Amino acid sequence: MDYNPPNDPLVILHDDAEVLAIDKPSGLLSVPGKGAHLSDCLLGRVQKVFPQALLVHRLDRDTSGVMIFSLTPHAQRFMSMEFEKRQAKKSYIARVWGHLTPKTGTVDLPIAVDWPNRPLQKIDHESGRPAVTDWRVLRHEEQSSRVRLMPKTGRSHQLRLHMLTLGHPVLGDPFYADGPALRFPRLMLHSEELRIRHPGGGPMLRIRAKAPF
């Protein structure tokens, strides 16, 4: 698959002495891939403007939305621990194929790497790591549903795979959708909101980026 990342300027959602939040565009790697042709990434672009920026978490290449960076080693340790302990609260917007029912639900299915087909993931009840996603249908569209997804864990491809197991793949997903569900200009998955405790104390940080679809 060719890598042609967008050249959008950085969209800064939050910036203080310790925390930086960016609205990541779809199609841009969070960190460098293997090989010079995959070197362009959000971390690299951020570090050109904020040389002290450090990685805290990642989003899939084709997912857009809120991505947070630390600006001090202390902030990186503090916020990384929040993700590790599942204290950071994440909310995504997705458009999925078909009419998802009921209106709310939870997927609790363990995920493991599908080694022969990397980077694909698979449901694996024997060796998979726990993965839990809550969902809420916002509205049904003509051939799809607009949903809010609230992952309780942070496995690779978790939201995409969990929606697939329900029979409702995310529109435009190059890995897990096929047929008419694939015929969209981008992956219809967006990190809409992140709530996390500020490493400097005080109230929870609530950072939002409106879905572009």
User: pLDDT of 45-64, one tens digit each?
Assistant: 999 999 999 999 999 999 99
Domains of the chain, first to last: 12-88 (3.30.2350.10), 91-189 (3.30.2350.10)
Predicted local confidence at residue 202, as pLDDT: 79
3-state secondary structure of 181: helix
- The structure tokens 């992952």 sit at 151
Listed as ranges, residues in the chain with pLDDT below 70 are 1
Q: How many CB atoms lie within 10 A of CB 47?
A: 15
Please tell me which residue in 2, 15, 16, 60 is annotated as part of the active site. 60
- Candidates 105, 74, 64, 29; CA nearest to 208 is 64
Predicted local confidence at residue 75, as pLDDT: 97
- Is residue 60 part of the annotated active site? The answer reads yes
Predicted local confidence at residue 74, as pLDDT: 97
Predicted local confidence at residue 1, as pLDDT: 67
**Whole-Å CA distances, 166 to 13, 26, 99, 157, 190:** 33, 24, 11, 14, 19
Using omega within 30 degrees of 0 as the cis cutoff, is the peptide bond preceding 9 cis?
A: no
Predicted local confidence at residue 9, as pLDDT: 95
Predicted local confidence at residue 203, as pLDDT: 83
